[in-house]
Amino acid sequence: MPPSPSSPWEALRAGFRRACVRRLVGDEEGAIAVLRDEIPGLVVGWAKTSSLEAPEKKAKLKEVFDDESGRADELAVAFDLFAARFETKVADHVSREVKKARAELVAVSNKIEEALANFSRRIDALPSISQITLPGPVAESLPIEDEATTEESKPSKPEIEIEEEPAPEPASIEVTPESETKPAEPEFQDVAENELPQAPKPEPEPAEEPEPEPVPTAKPKKEPMQEPDTDSEAETIAETSPVIPRGIRFDDIEGMIDELLAEEE
């Protein structure tokens, strides 16, 4: 915790400093809380112990406020410089580490390439295995003389005499003229006509029902396109844009100081 101020004046200076620093770092709510809750009591406590007139008190307060606001600005600038230097140091350290890792990766890749080259050379140096073709089986040929001797050694069969029988004479057939002129009438003609199945009569096809006419329906009305609201878009853009914090000016609290000094008198 910061040490307690030794006098109301030092307490007032510390209060102004806290409000300015919180506003610069972006804590606007904290700066407003300090100005609303702490500064009025500190101003009244210092005004009671001071023997200056009201205009002189106001000038004194403006001077100390501008002094603390300037110191807060200097602290902000120093912090920005420190942050920039810190970022550059971190970036340099990261770049050095990346370069070192890259060099190690290059060395490892070179070793792998050399090992692959040696392996391929050893494979090429190995003797090539030639395919050996085996001769197929040779068919054994029998000698011609043996076949001739086997045919001669077979006993000859005795020849059998076959007596030829005389062919029979063709029988004479008498043809009458009636058989030549009268054609044979089929007796089963009437029976066949009666036994034939009659084809069924075709049934009348049912009349096609007329299709129902489509009922006309009302077409939905197209709603008019809503034009984009330019005001709302501008508001959203303004909300999303980052807010750059600015310091507190004495004009922002001048009305409050005047009221406090008037109540003190």
For residue range 134-184, list pLDDT tens digits in order.
Answer: 665 555 554 555 555 555 555 555 555 555 555 555 555 554 544 444 444
- Confidence tier at 79 by pLDDT (50, 70, 90): confident
Residue 227: band (very low, low, confident or very high) from pLDDT cuts 50, 70, 90: low
Contacts of 66 (CB under 8 A, 6+ apart): 250
Specify the higher pLDDT residue, 249 or 13.
Answer: 13
CA pair distance 145, 17, nearest whole angstrom: 137
pTM: 0.39
Calculate the alpha carbon distances from 227 to 36, 113, 235, 236, 256 in Å.
Answer: 44, 65, 16, 16, 46
C-alpha–C-alpha distance, residues 225 and 204, integer Å: 60
For tokens 């009268």, the residue is 182
Query: Is residue 66 classed as helix, strand or coil in its secondary structure?
Result: helix
CB 23 within 8 Å of CB 245: yes
**How confident is the prediction for the chain on average, in pLDDT?**
70
Most distant CA pair in the chain, distance = 182
pLDDT of residue 242: 44
Q: Look at residue 100 in the predicted model and tell me its pLDDT.
A: 93
Cα 37 from Cα 32, distance rounded (Å): 8
pLDDT at residue number 150:
55
Q: Is the pLDDT of residue 240 over 80?
A: no
Neighbours of 22 (CB within 10 A): 21
Q: Between vectors from CA 31 to CA 236 and to CA 65, what angle results, nearest 5°?
A: 125
Local confidence band at 241 (pLDDT 50, 70, 90 cut-offs): very low
- 141 vs 77, higher pLDDT: 77
Average pLDDT of span 109-121: 92
Residues 81-102 pLDDT 10s: 888 899 999 999 999 999 999 9
Read off the DSSP letter of residue 206.
P
State how far the Cα of 126 lies from the Cα of 145, in Å rounded to an integer: 57
Q: Tokens 């890259």 belong to which residue?
A: 102
Q: Which residues contact 72 (CB under 8 A, 6 or more apart)?
A: 17, 20, 21, 23, 24, 247
CA distance 93 to 98: 9
